[in-house]
Structure 1
Amino acid sequence: MTATDTDIAVVGAGIVGVACALQLARQGRRVLLIDRQAPGHGASYGNAGHLATEQVFPIADLSILKRLPAMLLDPMGPLRLDWKYLPRALPWFTRLLLNLRPAPFQRSVAGIRALNENSLGAWQRLLASIDRSPLLKEDGSLLVFERHESRQALAALRARMQAQGVPVDLWSAEAVSEAAPQLSPSILGGLFFPRTGHFLDPYHVVCEMFSAAKAGGVRFLRAEVSGGRVHGQGVSLASDQGPLEASQVLISAGAHSAKLTATLTGRRVPLDTERGYHLMLPAEQQRLPFAVTSLERKFIMTPMADGLRLAGTVEFAGLEAPPSMQRAWQLHRLSKGLFRRELDAEGATPWMGFRPSLPDSLPVIDRVADGKVLLAFGHQHLGLTQAAVTAEWMGRLVNGEDCPQISAYRLSRF
């Protein structure tokens, strides 16, 4: 395909890439969307489905130092670092620790908050534009606790969130029981986040967006991009389906974005992977009214059209190690005691996907190489939450508009 056929080649058909392709096509660009899988079959397929606008803090704080032995030794822990992967992960974790110093930590919080504060409105606009608003349930989410000794930690978290402008309500045990009567009476209360929500089927959301993008002229090519170069007329990409030409390329390939970014820009990006797991329980569609997270057990349960999705475990083991599906089944064991009646795991299906993560917990959203290379990746576990607002900001970048919002997400910070 020649540059005259394609204004922008979008590499990566996850939720961020598809949202950007749709936005750019609506701005009159001829868009080619490229992925080695069908749209939505990467991390977007199996995420927790939670519109996590309340999660404004980085993926780790200084307590990670105390947890490091458990991360290495407990294969079923909520945060695991495979000891065989440690030598490759060490530079990334060193950067992570450096970003926990007060000034960079506050920059990360401000960057996450800026995206999250705009995320709900952006999703409302995007879904309304494709006539699919009911796919998002704007009914809030709940963080529950079970131990009396957790009250202090819960109060501290509430204060930190209020300081960041996150809407949060303190719920008593009675309020939890009234709203979610199937939860265990052992739950002592929790924090309710009214400006959050959940998607009934994250994969279906990508499919509906992709259908709208195709109707708007976006073409899709199933291919694996292996490299490329920037030249005077645009960008040449090498793929297993032959060479591809475009005036611009948008790299939005999630955990697989670093190599192509380095090839086209000469900049190494410290991108690593949070391997996330879920367990889907098809017999449990009606158990919860909204997403519920356990403070002590550190996982989330999201009601969806096809069942209840248990998710939240994080593993650092790279892109090549085989999945450890026992981590997915561990989520069912973690749920025991949270309900009046144990969750039914009949027909349950486990899943693992790669979340792209940078050591400052911020994505890269940028326009480089004289505008020929666009970047939108590294959203860690907030890709679903931040996809729609990322697409809006990318649209402004492509139009050459002043976009001061993206200063915190530029590639040059590395």
Structure 2
Amino acid sequence: MLENPQPEIDIAVVGAGIIGVACALQLARQGRRVVVIDQQEPGMGASFGNAGHLATEQVFPIADLSILMRLPAMLMDPMGPLRLDWKYLPRALPWFTRLLLNLRPTAYQRSVAGIRALNESSLSAWQRLLATLARPELLREDGSLLVFERAESRQAIEGLQARMTQQQVPVDYWSADAVRKAAPQLSERIQGGLFFPRTGHFLDPYRVVCELVEAAKACGVTFLKRQVQDGQLQAQGVTLITDLGRLAARQVLIACGAHSARLTQALTGKKVPLDTERGYHLMLPHEQERLPFAVTSLERKFIMTPMADGLRLAGTVEFAGLDRPPNMQRAWQLHRLSHGLLRHELSAEDATPWMGFRPSLPDSLPIIDRVCGGKVLLAFGHQHLGLTQAAVTAELIAQLLSPVYMPQPAGLPALERYRLDRF
């Protein structure tokens, strides 16, 4: 397989996270011979430790103009919710410059439209995908709640509700009494919140990847543990150079998240402005029954998601690149942030910290495209919405490759917004 000049592989998928595996399954179900390659076991990257929230309500880009005022704190506060490692600043500066340029009104609205189009299709796409696995129970479609504690935050909450309504995001304002009735474990300090009924959470994001892997294997997909070091376009397709030799395929799908830029440039010649939001979580194994659904704090800027194995505290964004070691104090800071948010403090006994890389582009939109004469497919850059948008991304990739006579799910977003050539 590793030295075949006439490819027997139809598509080599580089990346065994939630997006790569979901795409591989869809493509195999179209009758293609698919190989998935990753240097880790499937699902062990960002897909392992995400917040587990199906965040269809999050239709706004990762930053707004207030980031300019927050920049000093980002550089100085190592425990802040948004952190920029000052040693990484020279490398991050071009990316942040492009981020700021995308906050201009026209570009910002283009980003909102692109995120919203994917998010509006995400829940139904996940319902279809989980139905094919006969595992719909992995997703709890029970909504999510954004709470606030300070009276002066009410104006911000009402403003956010108005913006959400303008974008046709289903949202309800809940009084303090309504919050306590639905989630009695929350503190009396809660003044109210916004409830998003068309969201949900996954009981175990890693288990979802494992279920997709098993379904993909049943469809003939092969999983290889390799490190892809380079790639070359050939007359008959693509050759991938791995640490264990060469692998030839008619097409390649690059879906390796924050690690996608180098291979994309090698194959397409395009230098993609991809950076990483380093995200942290703290898993509390003795808190399975504390909350009925995912709860986010407006002021504290983190989320608590109930899962099968405990309560996951997640959030914070750190810009420090792919190479610097994790600062696990940021994960433990999430437990400190929870103090006072619930009636009784959360138990951190046997808690486990984690850090992973969210792939982010400066316009907050992913790249979903087919280039190089159809030999190279791209599906990366979903920032903190990778889990949310994985199923619809897989349908879009399948749509890019399917014959026109094959039926497609209705309502899929147009792909023009997500093209590589926008950079």
TM-score range, shorter chain: over 0.9
- Given the alignment, which residue of 271, 276, 282 partners 2:279? 276
- Counterpart of 1:41 in structure 2 is 44
Matched residue type, 2:370: R
- Counterpart of 1:409 in structure 2 is 418
Query: Please, what TM-score do these two structures have when normalized by structure 1?
Result: 0.99
Q: Give the match's secondary structure for 2:355.
A: strand
Matched residue type, 2:313: L
Q: Distance in 1 between matches of 2:51 and 2:349?
A: 20
- Counterpart of 1:378 in structure 2 is 381
- Counterpart of 1:396 in structure 2 is 399
Deviation at 1:228, TM superposition (A): 1.0
Q: Distance in 2 between matches of 1:384 and 1:120?
A: 11
- Given the alignment, which residue of 113, 125, 130 partners 1:122? 125
Deviation at 1:399, TM superposition (A): 1.6
Q: Give the match's secondary structure for 1:7.
A: strand
Q: Distance in 2 between matches of 1:26 and 1:43?
A: 25
Deviation at 1:5, TM superposition (A): 2.0
- Counterpart of 2:315 in structure 1 is 312
Q: Give the match's secondary structure for 2:415.
A: helix
- Counterpart of 1:265 in structure 2 is 268
- Note if 1:301 corresponds to 2:310: no
- Note if 1:81 corresponds to 2:84: yes
Matched residue type, 2:161: R
Alpha-carbon distance change, 242 to 161 in structure 1, aligned in 2, over 3 angstroms: same
Q: Is the 8 A contact 2:117 2:413 kept in 1?
A: no
Q: Deviations over 1:184-223 (max 9, x none)?
A: 0110110000000000000000000000000011001100
Matched residue type, 1:386: Q
- Note if 1:321 corresponds to 2:333: no
Q: Deviations over 1:155-178 (max 9, x none)?
A: 000000000000000000000000
Q: Give the match's secondary structure for 1:353.
A: strand
Runs in 1 of length 4+ with deviation above 4 angstroms?
400-404
- Given the alignment, which residue of 295, 299, 319 partners 1:292? 295
Matched residue type, 1:73: M
- Counterpart of 1:132 in structure 2 is 135
Q: Distance in 2 between matches of 1:228 and 1:65?
A: 39
Q: Deviations over 1:338-360 (max 9, x none)?
A: 01100000000000000000000
Q: Is the 8 A contact 2:46 2:357 kept in 1?
A: yes
Alignment of 1:68-217 (within 5 A): 68-217=71-220
Alignment of 1:210-225 (within 5 A): 210-225=213-228
Alignment of 1:3-18 (within 5 A): 3-18=6-21
Matched residue type, 2:418: Y
Q: Deviations over 1:208-256 (max 9, x none)?
A: 0000000011001100000011111000010011100000000000000
Matched residue type, 1:355: R
- Root mean square deviation of aligned Cα: 0.9
Deviation at 1:398, TM superposition (A): 1.1
- Note if 1:234 corresponds to 2:237: yes
- Counterpart of 1:248 in structure 2 is 251
- Counterpart of 1:50 in structure 2 is 53
Deviation at 1:79, TM superposition (A): 0.3
Alpha-carbon distance change, 404 to 307 in structure 1, aligned in 2, over 3 angstroms: closer
Alignment of 1:327-338 (within 5 A): 327-338=330-341
Matched residue type, 2:319: F
Q: Distance in 1 between matches of 2:323 and 2:285?
A: 29
Q: Deviations over 1:133-165 (max 9, x none)?
A: 000000000000000000000000000000000
Q: Give the match's secondary structure for 2:374.
A: coil
